[in-house]
Chain A
């Protein structure tokens, strides 16, 4: 089976960047075997490979913790099949926490 890869631009906001080494933007490659990579794959990769500590502040089960917004190319992921939304090369995926500060 061939591996499908996607080059993505990922951005963090609303305080989430703290979990990712204070990086507001990272570039990464997500791949899947014989199918198109999805947002679920991206979240897993971020949690597994890019968070040093307090993973639970980002991920809950296989999805983001409630209160974290996800936008793909500025579109609310709730309009794009959420976890099952397929990713394209060059997509900009933004994660923003609503939980910090008032």
Chain B
């Protein structure tokens, strides 16, 4: 097979076929194009402010490892002036998270970034191992998802950070779009494709990889020999999401642009005002101060269920119906405080929407 030249530099041999464009490029051109596309996504959306403290949600997996590498590279190359941190959540899953945290600790050294690890046990008094013991293997991901979201915000807040970047890639976003359609969750449909979700009482969340294909992230990690962890969680994820994922991958194999087409579709859907008005109003959880659409936030409801041994009932039931009293010996989540920086930013930024992000 004769080597084909790179379509960008016409010098080196092409090694990769880019899924979005079909372009055939060499390693060096691939690295540069990959990084600069992420820079474009970030800068077109004015994602960061100079001097901002930004936490990279780091799991040790491929996406967040590549994200840490690329954020550090771009911060230096384009002089974003960001202060970067690694923020990891320890869910307390023996044989899975303990190993992946070792990867994050190595990343800390490799990238010379400060690392903060916050555990479910520290915050909620429960590890995922114990939660699974209590609720079984059916709803564990519901607990894990709700707890992780808050844990990340609380970890960031403890570092006085008001902006978190996560490694969600284009394949993940397309999958979420599909899930939101399948669940009829129209209000989340628009928000799940936004690069940044902001709110007065929430920490900003951004997805610099929203247009970045999973294939390219893995190729990048492979060619750059980045150190990442790739074992499946021992409490396998929800079956429903698994189907959505397989479906997306099958479509992508037939026509790679499918991923970006799904994202563009969701970006261009205009959600009717009727639906927007029907969105629950955001308030602060009466028990822990975290943003919530009910008097109690989901984490407090789930935690209360665990403490009372009625966890299975808490899922799907409305938070309103859960009693407000907590006996003095049950565990509650510490009060949530927004970082000072965020308060200042929001005073000068009146355009922020007061909606909780997805």
**Candidates A15, A71, A78, A80; contact of B230 at CB < 8 Å:** A15
Cβ-defined contact, B229 with A66, below 8 A: no
In the bound complex, what is the Cα–Cα distance between A67 and B218 (angstroms)?
10
A80 with B232, Cβ < 8 A, contacts A96-B218, A98-B214, A102-B172 known: no
Q: Which of A81, A86, A101 has the most CB of B within 10 A?
A: A101
Query: Hey, which chain B residues are within 8 Å of A15, CB to CB?
Result: 230-232
Q: Mark B229-270, 1 if CB is under 8 A from A, else 0.
A: 111100000000000011001101100000000000000000
In the bound complex, what is the Cα–Cα distance between A15 and B215 (angstroms)?
15
Cβ-defined contact, B15 with A67, below 8 A: no
Cβ-defined contact, B61 with A101, below 8 A: yes
A100 with B230, Cβ < 8 A, contacts A66-B250, A71-B222 known: yes
Q: Mark A91-102, 1 if CB is under 8 A from B, else 0.
A: 000101111111
Q: Chain A's nearest CB lies how many Å from the CB of B55?
A: 16
Q: Mark B41-84, 1 if CB is under 8 A from A, else 0.
A: 00000000000000000011111100000000000000000000
Query: Hey, which chain B residues are within 8 Å of A86, CB to CB?
Result: 1
Cβ-defined contact, B253 with A76, below 8 A: no
Chain B residues 215 to 230 lying within 8 A of chain A, measured CB to CB, are 215, 217-219, 222-223, 228-230
Chain A residues 46 to 102 lying within 8 A of chain B, measured CB to CB, are 65-67, 69, 71, 74-76, 78-81, 85-86, 94, 96-102
Who on chain A is nearest to B253 by CB?
A66
Q: Chain A's nearest CB lies how many Å from the CB of B313?
A: 30
In the bound complex, what is the Cα–Cα distance between A86 and B2 (angstroms)?
12
Cβ-defined contact, A80 with B15, below 8 A: no
Cβ-defined contact, B222 with A13, below 8 A: yes
Query: Hey, which chain B residues are within 8 Å of A65, CB to CB?
Result: 249
Q: Chain A's nearest CB lies how many Å from the CB of B246?
A: 8
**Candidates B13, B16, B215; contact of A98 at CB < 8 Å:** B215
Cβ-defined contact, A80 with B1, below 8 A: yes
In the bound complex, what is the Cα–Cα distance between A13 and B223 (angstroms)?
12
Who on chain A is nearest to B166 by CB?
A102
- B17 beta carbon closer than 8 Å to chain A: yes
- A18 beta carbon closer than 8 Å to chain B: yes
Cβ-defined contact, B1 with A101, below 8 A: no
Cβ-defined contact, A100 with B63, below 8 A: no
Q: Chain B's nearest CB lies how many Å from the CB of A71?
A: 7
Q: Chain B's nearest CB lies how many Å from the CB of A59?
A: 14
Q: Mark B171-196, 1 if CB is under 8 A from A, else 0.
A: 11000000000000000000000000
The 6 closest A-B pairs by CB, nearest first: A101-B61, A66-B253, A15-B230, A66-B249, A78-B17, A100-B230
Q: List 29 contacting pairs A-B, 8 Å CB cutoff, sorted by A.
A: A13-B222, A14-B62, A14-B230, A15-B232, A66-B246, A66-B249, A69-B215, A69-B218, A71-B222, A74-B223, A75-B13, A76-B15, A78-B17, A79-B15, A79-B17, A79-B24, A80-B1, A98-B62, A98-B171, A100-B61, A100-B231, A100-B232, A101-B60, A101-B61, A101-B62, A101-B231, A102-B59, A102-B62, A102-B167
Report which A residues bind B (CB closer than 8 A): 13-15, 18, 65-67, 69, 71, 74-76, 78-81, 85-86, 94, 96-102
